[in-house]
Homo-oligomer: A and B are copies of this chain.
Amino acid sequence: MKLTILGYHSATPRANANPSSQILEIRNHLFLIDCGEGTQVQLRKFKISFSKIKHIFISHLHGDHVFGLIGLISTFRLLGRTSDLTIHGPKGIKELIEVQLKLSQSKIDYQLIFNELTGDKSQIVFEDNTVKVASIPLNHRIYTNGFLFSEKPSERRLNAPAAREAQIDKAYFSKLKQGFDVINEVGQLVTNEEVTFDPPKTKSYAYCSDTAYHPTIVPLIHGVDCLYHESTFLNEDEELADKTLHSTARQAAEIAKLANVSQLILGHFSSRYDEENHFLLEAKDVFGMTFLAENGKEFVW
């Protein structure tokens, strides 16, 4: 999996501070997560293929997570997009977009599909052969979901020399990759384990923004390879975090530790702090494998 940070600041866009947006790449599929104002310019800046984005996941309807969506949808139209686009997000997102399309008299030529979420329990949001995406109900001032991306096992890998040695016809190779035993050219049974390797370990990613400290999510995200968790505030402003239903860096790290994740990325920083490194120091006190989101930074695992 490869995660590219397009924006990671809270509240208002500024000259070098874009609001929340990320691209997650899983086996050549691109998933856009949140879409603050200016996201389409960030996509261009980091040379990310517009046409490979077929699914967009919106956590909640606060502006810093969604105000860039109508512009992106319009730009797709202007670029002559033909392939379907599915928007997964809270109930209301369909109205949000459709009113704007109606008032600007814009006809979308591609299929625009809305998958509106309403549940307060984790549910499957999207699933195909590559990935399963589940919602992570969060605790914020407005209905909000994080998203858990779990890669599905890919095919077994062929041990080509062993397969040749075992005199297996190439026509059977795809069967082997699917895990079946086969009969070789001299009529003997060859078990799958003899001529294949296990597929690569499946990967996972959890996106949790925006939310108060909410340990209820721990079982859902337990053991993920990478967790993005908002940390709008520092511990010194914990009261403010409580009041606005956001988290501190320390709280984000507590969640990472409780969930035993492999690495934690912090973001959604308030503009009240000049020094983002303070978020890192505070979180690392609790959870060592912590990193800061940065503009255009790629995380690969």
Contacts and interface: CB of A to CB of B under 8 A. Distances in A.
Interface of A: 11-15, 37-38, 40-41, 44-45, 61-63, 66-68, 70-71, 74-75, 78-79, 92-93, 95-96, 99-100, 103-106, 141-142
A70 B63 contact: yes
A8 B141 CA distance: 37
B142 A104 contact: yes
Given A12-B40, A12-B78, A62-B106, 4 more contacts: A13-B71, A63-B104, A92-B103, A105-B141
Contacts of A41: 13-15, 38
Given A14-B41, A100-B96, A103-B92, A63 B67 contact: no
B78 A11 contact: yes
Contacts of A105: 61, 141-142
Contacts of A37: 37-38, 40, 68, 71
A71 B15 CA distance: 14
A11 B78 CA distance: 8
Contact of A15 (B14, B45, B66, B75): B45
A93 B104 CA distance: 10
20 contacts: A11-B75, A12-B40, A12-B75, A13-B38, A13-B40, A13-B71, A14-B41, A15-B41, A15-B45, A37-B37, A37-B68, A38-B38, A61-B104, A63-B70, A63-B71, A63-B100, A63-B106, A92-B103, A95-B99, A96-B100
B71 A67 contact: yes
Nearest to A11: B78
4 shortest A-B CB distances, which residue pairs? Answer: A12-B75, A92-B103, A37-B71, A63-B74
Contacts of A11: 75, 78
